[in-house]
Amino acid sequence: MSLFDIVVEPKVRRRRVRRPLSKKKRAAALFRVWHGLNDLLEEAERLGDGELVHFLSVAQLMIEDKVTTATSGIAAAFETVDTSRPN
């Protein structure tokens, strides 16, 4: 006979239902991520890590593609930004 009984009950987490972002807000969020990647890319170039530079460049291109498809009716988000980068 033990003095302690361990009772494990599953925790029920209540999550707030998130609504999908509008096209403009989604594009803005992706654009912020793109700028963050741009900073990481500059740091990787400074460190001379070619693999990381390539990986981040591909990620940037994927985000650019997402933004341009998400904002098909809106003016292109990357028109004024220099997006040319050597791979």
Q: What is the pTM of this model?
A: 0.58
Q: Is residue 36 in some structural domain?
A: yes
Any domain includes 47 = yes
Q: Write out the residue range of the structural domain in which residue 44 sits.
A: 23-70
Which among 31, 34, 33 is positioned nearest to 23, based on CA atoms?
Answer: 31
Cα separation, 32 vs 81, in Å, equals: 13
pLDDT tens for 26-85 read 878 888 888 899 999 999 999 999 999 999 999 999 988 887 776 665 555 556 666 565
Total tally of structural domains belonging to the chain: 1
Angle, helices 23-47 vs 50-70, to 10°: value is 170
Report angle CA 4, 10, 11 to the nearest 5 degrees.
Answer: 115
What pLDDT is attached to residue 20?
Answer: 84
Helix/strand/coil for 8: coil
Asked whether residue 1 is domain-assigned, the answer is: no
Q: What is residue 12's predicted lDDT score, i.e. its pLDDT?
A: 74
In a domain? residue 39: yes
Mean pLDDT of 16-35: 83
